[in-house]
A and B are shown apart, each in its own frame.
Chain A
Amino acid sequence: MQKLVSQFELQSGYQVSTSYASSGKLFAQITHGAPFDIFLSADALRPRRLENLGLVVPNQRFTYAIGKLVLWAPGAHSPEEALQQLRQGDFSYLSMANPKIAPYGAAAMEVMTRFGLSQRFLKRTVRGENVAQAYQFVHSGNAQLGFVASAQIVAAGDSLKGAIWRVPKDYYTPIAQQAVWLKRAAGHPAASAFVDYLRSDSAKQIIIAAGYDGLSAPTVSSQESLNRHD
């Protein structure tokens, strides 16, 4: 996100001020009149709700990134071993984002359900309030396995321990992250420039390099939720 903002500032000369919080909190703030111009949600659900509430410029909702889910096993040596650890229950705790509030969590639950494991490990599944916390539980060694975001793995770089199993895309509903343009900023040139920038190829490159799938078809269908986070 910082990279996008600084590139945009360089290119456009506008100054962006950002406020980071979970999508649910930002949604609550926006519905109570928070002075934001553009809302980049980590999911598609909240932007859609804002649109239904008539708080955003109509027909401008679009997907700016698609999150990718991975299974991280710091103790494994190969993707196959990581997957095997999950299927055999070879862990004390499995970490994921809370499926009820975070799209990465919902995606993780879809994978567990597909494997027929959703009920079996319920008492050993710890749920972070977001995918950042899911990552932290694994990173601190408290969980031996975790469903995290591909973007987090990219950000960790070479310092990452263990192995990653990249969850096949057809195992879960795409984690579409959508942006909306709030009504109070309708016609605002800086807001308009930022929306254009987000859809540009150079922004897409940054988004893909950060570990997401880039896609920006205007106003996307009913794809399900996710969480990017802070």
Chain B
Amino acid sequence: MEMDWQPVWLSLKLASVTTLLLLLIGTPLAWWLSQTRSLFKQPIAAIIALPLVLPSTVLGFYLLLLLGPQGAVGQFMQRLGLDTLPFTFAGLVVASIFYSLPFMVQPLQNAFENLGTKPLESAATLRASPFDTFMSVVVPLARPGFITGIVLCFAHTIGEFGVILMIGGNIPGETQVLSIAIYDHVEMLEYGQAHILSAGMVLFSFVVLLTLYYMNRRIEVRNR
């Protein structure tokens, strides 16, 4: 039985890049949501949460149209002299950012909201700049939120299927990720290979979640 491990590495790479970018995008977004009283707060929170309730094929279908040469984003990319995103690794990263956004933003927003105003006020009386306050007060206190966000984003991106099926094009080494490889094995009736990869996914997901729960539990106990 011949095993091809490239899809496994590709999934790990996709999940790492996506999680890193989501940390950079999700943190300010979650902070804004936790602090704002803007009228747009609820609509924006609802848009971010859409991937939680939409079938991923819906998201994938619209991304294919939007990012394609006839879509608004695709036409913009072409005007800039860039290639369109479907069927590329970069395209998968963009899609995964949308797809996993709520998994980063929601835990962070909860963590930020639970801080209350006191730590911020104390920092302000010590004349800390807002950025300084954020890095040395908010981030350490919101650590469980960060851990949860990072772990869930990573695991969720590893498990992504429908969106990638719609916009990936199944190119080995470029867009053929783990979940797609499993799907192909099943369709080819290669149940042995499918079992190895699937059992690996189940084990991986279980270990990830277990670690997450233990870590957050330890932090809770320590903060008591």
Contact = CB atoms under 8 A, between A and B. Distances in A.
Contacts of A128: 169-170
Nearest to B191: A28
B158 to A, nearest CB: 20
A98 B184 contact: yes
A76 to B, nearest CB: 16
Contacts of B170: 98, 126-129
A219 interface: no
Given A125-B171, A127-B169, A142 B187 contact: no
Interface residues of A, number: 24
Interface string A106-131: 00000000000000001101111100
A39 interface: no
A229 to B, nearest CB: 12
A50 to B, nearest CB: 11
B68 A142 contact: yes
Contacts of B174: 123
B210 interface: no
Interface of B is mostly: loop
Given A93-B87, A126-B87, A27 B68 contact: no
Interface in A16-59: 22, 24-25, 27-28, 49
B51 interface: no
B169 A24 contact: no
A137 interface: yes
Contacts of A142: 64, 68-69, 84, 86-87
A154 B45 CA distance: 45
Contacts of A93: 87, 169
Contacts of B187: 22, 24-25, 98, 100-101, 129
Given A93-B169, A127-B169, A129-B165, A101 B184 contact: yes
B48 interface: no
Interface of B: 64-65, 68-70, 74, 83-84, 86-87, 165, 169-172, 174, 183-184, 186-189
Give 8 nearest A-B pairs by CB, closest first: A126-B169, A24-B187, A101-B187, A127-B170, A141-B70, A142-B68, A141-B69, A142-B86
